[in-house]
Amino acid sequence: MKKSVSFAAMFLTGLTAGIIIIMVIAFPSRAETAKEIVNINEDAAHTWYAPALPEKLNFAGEQVPLERWEVREQLDREILYNYYWQNNILYIMKLAGRYFPMIEQKLKEHNIPDDFKYLCVAESNLLNATSRAGAVGFWQFMKGTAPAYDLEISTTTDERYHVMKSTEAACKYLLKAYQKFGSWTAAAASYNCGMGGYNSRATHQGTNDYYDLLLPEETQRYIFRILAFKYLMSNADKMGFRLEDHEQYAPVKTRSVEVKSSITNLATFAKENGTTYKMLKFLNPWLRERSLKVKPGKTYTILLPAE
């Protein structure tokens, strides 16, 4: 019995040794593999650094108190987050070529500071986005709030997706908020948490100054997010975001058609007007269905590609 066990042990020992030799030949050691990985990382290494913060910064002409450490660190956080999201910044810069001229004009018409175009960037990245809470469009209006600012929502239309009309609606809100709070910074913050929400916290804490208020996390970051976009986009070349003028998306040339009666088939309507259903929807994202219901006395303006 002992001889049998000894022979089996010898056989297993020999077999194990053979397997080990094969593995050593076939596979590199962990040390060697780690060494190769380190060498690869050294060859492809990047140096990551924190971009310099501005010495002075304002929002809509109102100074940001950067001498305060907590304010400076809050701005630093948002600049870092967005500075290293390079593809997003570059894409927004491309879209800005198409949409900023219209937004800037609307803000100017209502005597609202130009900086509020960066609020639009913070809200939607200049896209007709839909948030988890159900806010929609460039300016992220909620369904319950939109009608108060003359944005129609019906079975076939949703003007929160209408860039010009939603910008007009945002202007109305911001003017009302500025009249209430006497500060553009407070008006911008209230755009995130609502005038009621901002006012209740300001009343409780005994100050109307955004930088002195303790607000919900999203609103606490909101102004600094807007400021980060302003700083990065206004100093794009210096910050390393280089985009030639011809690389920006140009405004689409269009012609307008007034519609005073219902359209049962928008695809047919598009073909009859020399375009496609896809292009019709691209230029008029507020058209939400395959048809358009028009109430008596109502007129819609539909954009079509310029002839």
Structure tokens of 164? 């010009």
- What pLDDT digit, counting tens, does each position of 101-111 carry? 999 999 999 99
Give the model's confidence band at 14: pLDDT under 50 very low, under 70 low, under 90 confident, else very high: low
Give the model's confidence band at 237: pLDDT under 50 very low, under 70 low, under 90 confident, else very high: very high
- The whole-chain average pLDDT of the chain stands at 89
On the question of pLDDT at 39 being above 60, the answer is no
Average pLDDT over residues 232-261: 95
On the question of pLDDT at 8 being above 80, the answer is no
How far CA 208 is from CA of 12, 105, 113, 116, 185, in Å, comes to 82, 29, 20, 20, 10
Domain ranges of the chain: 2-43, 58-247, 254-305
CA 289 to chain centre: 26
Conformational region of residue 265, where left means phi above 0, alpha means psi within -120 to 50, and beta covers everything else: beta
What is residue 187's three-state secondary structure?
Answer: helix
Closest CA to 156 of 298, 306, 304, 305: 298
CB of 107 within 8 A of CB of 60?
Answer: no
Cβ of 141: how many Cβ atoms within 10 Å? 26
In this structure, are strands 254-259 and 300-305 parallel, antiparallel, or unpaired?
antiparallel
On the question of pLDDT at 4 being above 50, the answer is no
Predicted pLDDT of residue 47: 82
Closest CA to 225 of 70, 79, 44, 11: 79
CB of 193 within 8 A of CB of 215?
Answer: yes
Beta bridge partners of 304: 255
Average pLDDT over residues 203-227: 98
Closest CA to 227 of 60, 45, 106: 60
What is residue 37's three-state secondary structure?
Answer: helix
Predicted pLDDT of residue 307: 74
- What pLDDT digit, counting tens, does each position of 257-299 carry? 999 999 999 999 999 999 999 999 999 999 999 999 999 999 9
Predicted pLDDT of residue 49: 87
- What pLDDT digit, counting tens, does each position of 114-162 carry? 999 999 999 999 999 999 999 999 999 999 999 999 999 999 999 999 9
Predicted pLDDT of residue 42: 54
More confident site: 74 or 39: 74
What is residue 15's three-state secondary structure?
Answer: helix
- What pLDDT digit, counting tens, does each position of 22-36 carry? 444 444 444 454 444
Considering the domain 58-247, what is its CATH architecture?
A: Orthogonal Bundle (1.10)
What is residue 103's three-state secondary structure?
Answer: helix
Predicted pLDDT of residue 259: 97
Average pLDDT over residues 173-191: 98
What is residue 292's three-state secondary structure?
Answer: strand
Closest CA to 154 of 5, 4, 14, 293: 293
